[in-house]
Amino acid sequence: MYTLLEMSWEFFKTGLFAVGGGLATLPFLYDMSARMGWFSTNDIANMVAVSESTPGPLGVNMSSYVGFTAMGVLGSMVTTCSLVLPSVICILIIARVLDRFKNAAVVQQIFYGIRPASAALISAAGLQVAKISLLNIKVFQKTGALMKLFNWKMIILAAVVLIAYKKFKFHPIVYILAAGAAGVVIGG
């Protein structure tokens, strides 16, 4: 019981101080592993791999994994709820304040500037994913062969997805699952 409370507190702090998405929680988890010993750094490596290849937000997956490793199902519920609690409180306060001031000129002006910034940050994230999945940076650095820089199989797969997505407006999950199956078949 005491451990659960401790875990809850540690993850609450992580949720409060890790600003800017799932990977921002990573340094907190290393720190936690060193201080509390609930899981090893080896666990963390496995945890990142599992979190990245399962559905759901990264930070949430990682906290569920840690909670489960240390304390089972109850542990994973406690860690995850503690992780999201600060952001829920924070967003509810911000949303309330915004509702009140949303017609103020200055708020409109701030959002006028923020929207392109938001689009830019999301584009950057999309391009990072493209870099990881469509290019072989490491192979290129080792061999220097330009043709090896491109992961042709994945580029073709991405092109097929793009064309299909433009042509048939199925739910995104359809393309994700189909691409996953294609990955198994062609061996990414």
Partner 1 sequence: MNARSNSELKTTSLNTAETSGSNALKKAGTGSMKNSRSESGEIRPAHKSRPALYLDLFLTFAGIGVSTFGGGYAMLPILQREVCDKRGWATEEELMDYYAIGQCTPGVIAVNTATFVGYRLAGPLGGVFATLGVIFPSIVIICIISAFLKNFAHSAWAIHAFSGIRAAVCVLILDAVVRMGKKSLVDRFCIVIFLAILAASLFLHLSPILYVVLAGALGVLISRVTKRNA
Cβ-based neighbour number of residue 11 at 10 Å: 28
Tokens of 49: 């791999």
Residues in the chain: 188
The interface mask with partner 1, positions 26-45, x = CB under 8 A, is --------------------
Q: Which of residues 105-124 bind partner 1 (CB under 8 A)?
A: 105-106, 108-124
Counting residues that bind partner 1 (by CB under 8 A) gives 104
CA distance 58 to 62: 6
Q: Which of residues 157-186 bind partner 1 (CB under 8 A)?
A: 157-158, 161-162, 165-166, 171-173, 175-176, 178-184, 186
Task: Examine residue 102 and tell whether it contacts partner 1 (CB under 8 A).
Answer: yes
Q: Is 1 in contact with 31 (CB distance < 8 Å)?
A: no
Cβ-based neighbour number of residue 94 at 10 Å: 10
Q: Of residues 26, 33, 71, 133, which one binds partner 1 by CB under 8 A? A: 133
Choices 26-34, 72-80, 142-150 (CB under 8 A): range interacting with partner 1: 72-80
